[in-house]
Structure 1
Amino acid sequence: MPRSNLALARLGVVLALLALILFGALRYDGFVGLFNILSFLKFNSMFALVALGMAFVIMTGGIDLSVGAAAALASVAAAICSTYGSAAGILGGLSAGLAVGLINGVVITGLRIQPFIATLATMLAANGSALLLAGNQSVSIATDNNFMAIGLNNFLGLPIPVWIVVFAYFGGWLTLERLPVGRRILAIGDGEATAKLMGLHVERTLLGVYLFSGLMAGTAGVILASSSFAGQPTEGIGWELIAIASVVVGGTLLTGGVGSVGATLAGALLLGLVFTVINFENGKGWISLSSSWQPVIRGLFLLAVVVLQAKLAGTRRNSP
């Protein structure tokens, strides 16, 4: 995609986000109230984190279908480990996410299995592991330590999950825009064979990318367990689609080679805001859409963006 089209896609998602905020502010009472803003940001922090990990994977030309299952597994592991203290709960959740990311990275780089197949297999395995570990039910967290503070408490007026997202995205932006590894990630997305000919450490970089995706999913799982007071073995179903949609809406090509951390965040917030607007509209009584409509809307939204990207890519191929 030409740089002008890429910049237009990134600008478009930001403008769409601002327009939706303005629409909500003018139409609904309390839409831009402090309680609604903080609640929205805290709830969508989990989706923003898995979208960040997915963004780096897609920039390499890969895909990670296991992020939702990894988050669910991490939430169960965090809940179980929280009985040994808040630090143990955090480490348990992060370790579960990293374990899934490590398996993905080793299978993809070591066994040369396609990312779609490899991460589909780990998605199924992580889903089953979460259910087995939890005994097919939610696992309550320990309430006699500070583990629940992660999902409930504020720091300097913002929920702790929001601060986690801020630091994660700043680190992601720094990595992509200022560090050599960011250029390696994009080079691999442009063409893995070419990147190898350039002497780049392709396998090491890919392993790191999938580890990072697992870490972000694990962090989301820790937030999920802390904020809902329980490990949720089935909660992550469909999160991978939300993450992919957020990344693609942000202008990152599914073929890899280009991407933006900031636009990914805007894409995640835009998708979340769409459903917030729907909930407010339901309250007015003009429409009545149940939560079952959410995957339908996400699917149509993602299809529209992918079609638009294909048109832009076709314009590039046909240009002299």
Structure 2
Amino acid sequence: MPRLHASAGFGALLALLLIIGFGAWRYDGFISEYNILTVLRYNSMFALVGLGMCFVIMTGGIDLSVGSVAALSSVVAAYLSPYGLIPGLLGGLAAGLAAGIINGFIISKMKILPFIATLATMLAASGVALLISNQQSVPASYDTNFMALGQGDFALYAPEWVNGEDAGFLGAVIRIFLGFPIPAWIAVFAYLLGSLILNRTAFGRHVLAVGGGEEASRLMGLPTDRTIFLVYVMSGFLAGMAGVILAAQFGAGQPIEGVGWELFAIASVVVGGTLLTGGKGSVGATLVGTLLLGILFTVLNFENGMGWISLSAYWQSVLRGAFLFVVVILQSRLTRSAATA
């Protein structure tokens, strides 16, 4: 089974490099600074929900509510944005955290199946978002520093010598890192922390053990219910963070924007090699899966611009579903091959 996990992660990385190479060869401006930063800024939201989904799936569960929770959090954050960055951020995170706590409690304590529990939360969160927004976008405030969370970078805070003529190579490196979008830095920090938790803590080992066999973990005395509860809390919190970035990036809370995000998150996790049955997974490979899907659809947008094909957003959804279907089939066959080897 470890061979399956390693080969799937390597395959996703190889596919990512091939797509980037193809895009650089075929399209002008594909590897321009503007396009790279745009891809990183936009896909940071999907990276965050994908990270939460990764931990959930590694326990053998599923969280269908992440898209609706992100949409609800974006509306809450937009309403609080006139009071500044901190109230908007904390409000959106609180909405996501509340949804995660509800999911975790229902699944770990009431023993409701994750599919049913998170489906109910998805419907409830979507309904609340539409109710409090009056079924329309909620403008976020441009009069506070809230927008910096989604649209800003750290370049404005660079010391003067970095932009000077004598800055040299060191100055160039600093300018590149400071020019990265703030949402991308948030995602990078979240993934570094997630990797540390998974690979260096007892909680990470418990997550994999529960996914490998919940009853066996319980018999070994592991805190199974607490582990399951915490992964759903984590997923809700990260979906809330994605919702805050959504509101700050687009300048409004979007009550219906999260439709389909759960599928994108699941696809990112599966493409990265994490088993849908739980017990095996990788945080880094999930990030690769997110970038792979994001850049794949960037390629489709560039191809639309060349006029050779014309794919609407609906056809792109069809392709996304077909791609996920193919990946699941391949993973299933690899799992059988590994089991019989």
Runs of 4 or more off by more than 6 Å in structure 1? none
Distance, in Å, in 2 between the alignment partners of 1:200 and 1:180 is 10
Instruction: Tell me the secondary structure at the aligned position of residue 313 of structure 2.
Output: coil
In the alignment, structure 1 segments of 5+ residues that lack a partner are none
**1:96 is aligned with what amino acid?**
A
Distance, in Å, in 2 between the alignment partners of 1:259 and 1:203 is 20
**1:93 is aligned with what amino acid?**
G
Distance, in Å, in 2 between the alignment partners of 1:168 and 1:318 is 36
Q: Which residue is equivalent to 1:276?
A: 298
**1:313 is aligned with what amino acid?**
T
Instruction: Tell me the secondary structure at the aligned position of residue 146 of structure 2.
Output: coil
**1:238 is aligned with what amino acid?**
G
Note if contact 2:37-2:180 (Cα within 8 Å) is conserved in structure 1: yes
* Aligned-pair CA distance for 1:233: 0.2
**Greater Cα shift, 121-130 or 152-161:** 152-161
* Aligned-pair CA distance for 1:85: 2.0
Q: Which residue is equivalent to 1:115?
A: 114
Distance, in Å, in 1 between the alignment partners of 2:338 and 2:84 is 55
Instruction: Tell me the secondary structure at the aligned position of residue 233 of structure 1.
Output: coil
Q: Which residue is equivalent to 1:288?
A: 310
Q: Which residue is equivalent to 2:9?
A: 10
1:29 aligns with 2:51: no
* Aligned-pair CA distance for 1:86: 1.6
**2:139 is aligned with what amino acid?**
S
Instruction: Tell me the secondary structure at the aligned position of residue 147 of structure 1.
Output: helix
Distance, in Å, in 1 between the alignment partners of 2:69 and 2:195 is 23
Distance, in Å, in 1 between the alignment partners of 2:323 and 2:126 is 26
How large is the Cα RMSD of the aligned pairs?
0.8
Q: Which residue is equivalent to 1:90?
A: 89
Residue of structure 2 aligned with 1:247, choices 269, 276, 288? 269
Residue of structure 2 aligned with 1:171, choices 193, 201, 215? 193
* Aligned-pair CA distance for 1:316: 3.0
| Per-residue Cα deviation, 1:56-107 (whole angstroms, up to 9, x for no partner) | 0000000000000000000000001112222110000000000110000000
1:236 aligns with 2:258: yes
Q: Give the percent of matched residue pairs that are identical in Structure 1 and Structure 2.
A: 62
* Aligned-pair CA distance for 1:180: 1.0
**TM-score w.r.t. structure 2 length?**
0.92
Greater CA radius of gyration, 1 or 2? 2
**1:211 is aligned with what amino acid?**
V
1:187 aligns with 2:209: yes
1:217 aligns with 2:217: no
| Per-residue Cα deviation, 1:149-169 (whole angstroms, up to 9, x for no partner) | 111111211110000000000
**2:130 is aligned with what amino acid?**
L
Q: Which residue is equivalent to 1:314?
A: 336
Note if contact 2:4-2:335 (Cα within 8 Å) is conserved in structure 1: no
Note if contact 2:83-2:144 (Cα within 8 Å) is conserved in structure 1: no
What pairs with 1:45-56 in structure 2 (closer than 5 Å)? 45-56=44-55
Q: Which residue is equivalent to 1:59?
A: 58
| Per-residue Cα deviation, 1:3-26 (whole angstroms, up to 9, x for no partner) | 112211100000000000000001
| Per-residue Cα deviation, 1:20-69 (whole angstroms, up to 9, x for no partner) | 00000011111000000000110111001000000000000000000000
Q: Which residue is equivalent to 1:100?
A: 99
In the alignment, structure 2 segments of 5+ residues that lack a partner are 155-177
**Greater Cα shift, 78-87 or 194-203:** 78-87
Instruction: Tell me the secondary structure at the aligned position of residue 188 of structure 1.
Output: helix
Residue of structure 2 aligned with 1:199, choices 221, 240, 251? 221
Note if contact 2:148-2:248 (Cα within 8 Å) is conserved in structure 1: yes
